[in-house]
Structures are given as C-alpha cells and as structure tokens.
Amino acid sequence: MRILLVEDESLIAKHLKQALEKLGYSVQTAADGEEGLWYWQEEDFDLVLLDLGLPKLDGLSLLQQRRAAGDKTPVLILTARNAWQERVEGLQAGADDYVGKPFHFEELQARIVALLRRLGVTEDGETIQVGDLILNLARKEVTVDGKRHTLTAVEFTLLSALMRRPGQVLSKVYLMELMTEDSDDKDLNMVEVYISRLRRLVGAKRIKTLRGQGYQLCEETD
C-alpha cells in the first residue's frame, strides 16, 4: 500500500515514515502543500495523511482542490487535538477521518485500518475482503464463490492493489511500477496480460477497464 504523507514538521514526518515502512507501507513524504499537490496529481496513492497547517498551500485548500478534481483517495487529516474547527472544516472539505496531535502511533495505525474497513476493505493482517472476494495474504490465495485459487507473485501483487482500493481507478503505469522496479523491464502490455489472467480467476466483470485511465475493481458483478 502506498501512502502520501504531507507534513511540514520534518521530525514527525521522519518518524512516521520509518514506523509505517516497518509495517510494510510504501511512504512518499512532502514537506509543504505545493509539493504534496504535485505528488498527489502525478502518482497514485492508497491513502493520504494530511497535515492542515502547511506552508505554501495549506492542507485544507490542497484537499479541496483534489476533491474538486474528482480524486477520491482516502484522506486522514492530522490536526491539533484541541482544534475542533479544523477537524470540522477538514471533514466538510472531503476528509474521511482525522487524528489529533499529539497522538500515539498505535492510534494512527488503528485509524488507518478502520478507515480502509469503512471504505469497503476488510483487512485483518491475514486477509483482505471486498464483497465476496477474499484474498489470503500469507498463502497468496484468492477465494471466489467459495473456491480457492493460488496466485502467482505478480497476480497477487496486482489483485491486492486493486482490492485495497475498490472502486478506485489504478493506472497502467502505477500497476506496472508495482510489478517491477527494473526500468529496463517495463512493458505496459504485460499489465493487460496479467489483468486478463486475473479476470479468468475472479470473473471478467469484477475488473473494469476505463479506457485511457486504467482498471477498477468492482464489488458488484451485475
């Protein structure tokens, strides 16, 4: 899972990045609102952790711009614990949840898990479930209509990315980046090949193609 952390306090950003990466998340940091906007526009993220008191472009304006552009990436805002008005404004602007500073990292971790669960992803550390699709993270198996299918490494990588962001469109470039980090071994056609293989496993209607945009996991198959 890829997280964008927009936080101008360098020590907080450093500690959060290290702690989240120990849990297996991939974290991109941005030190101000303009940098955060650039990353948010140019790359795909599963979650944004957003401080509101940012230089150059404040977090509230940043959030409003992305929501106005139709971006639905889950957002968890970071606010001062007693700044109730900030929290209200953030939620009204389109944030999905908040955590007040100072906070224990365990609280932030719990908020992330709870947020993803509310948005349709059930993740207990062992499985991810979206509708009647169940992905076992340890065994790299997907259960479809009660039948288990073992996945290859690449199939697992792509399906887990789609299941962690149900209803969101993931670009070919983003999925290709997940498949390989070797700049000399990147072929966007391979994404289509593996998506076709996944469709044969989970059902063609579950993975929708949006021409020129990417792929979207649909909970409903009708």
CA–CA separation, 131 and 166 (whole Å): 10
CATH of the domain at 9: 3.40.50.2300
pLDDT tens per residue across span 122-154: 555 577 888 888 888 778 899 998 889 988 888
Mean pLDDT of the region 22-26:
76
Task: Give me the domain span that covers residue 30.
Answer: 2-118
Q: How confident is the model at residue 186 (pLDDT cuts 50, 70, 90)?
A: low
Domain boundary, last residue among 67, 87, 118: 118
Shared-domain flag, residues 144 and 51? no
108: tokens are: 């932030």
CB 27 within 8 A of CB 73: no
Is residue 222 one of the residues assigned to a domain? Answer: no
Are 91 and 181 within one domain?
Answer: no
Asked if pLDDT for residue 1 goes beyond 80, the answer is no
Identify the CA nearest to 206 among candidates 158, 136, 137, 157.
158
- Whether 104 and 137 map to the same domain: the answer is no
**pLDDT of 12 above 70:** yes
Same structural domain for residues 182 and 98? no
Q: Are 104 and 131 members of one domain?
A: no
Clarify whether residues 18 and 100 are in a common domain: yes
Residues 62 and 166 both lie in one domain: no
Amino acid (1-letter code) at residue 154: V
State the pTM of this model.
0.60
Residue type, 91: L
Condensed to tens digits (0 to 9), the pLDDT of residues 90-126 reads: 788 888 888 888 888 888 888 887 776 665 555 555 7
The stretch 13-37 carries a mean pLDDT of 87
Nearest Cα to 81, choosing from 103, 113, 111, 59? Answer: 103
In contact, 58 and 67? CB cutoff 8 Å: no
| Residue type (1 letter), 83 | A
Give the pLDDT score at 218.
83
The verdict on 74 and 144 lying in the same domain is no
The helix or strand, by DSSP H or E, that contains position 19, with its residue range, turns out to be helix 10-22
**What is the count of structural domains for the chain?**
2
| Percent of the chain at pLDDT exceeding 90 | 15
pLDDT(158) > 70 = yes
Beta strands in 44-126 (DSSP E): 47-51, 75-80, 97-101, 122-123
SS3 content of the chain, % helix, strand, coil (to 5): 45, 25, 30
At residue 30, the pLDDT reads 93
Q: Flag whether 141 is in a domain.
A: yes
Per-residue pLDDT, averaged over 194-203, amounts to 91
Nearest CA-CA partner of 77 in 109, 94, 52: 52
Centre a 10 Å sphere on the Cβ of residue 118 and count the other Cβ atoms it contains: 11
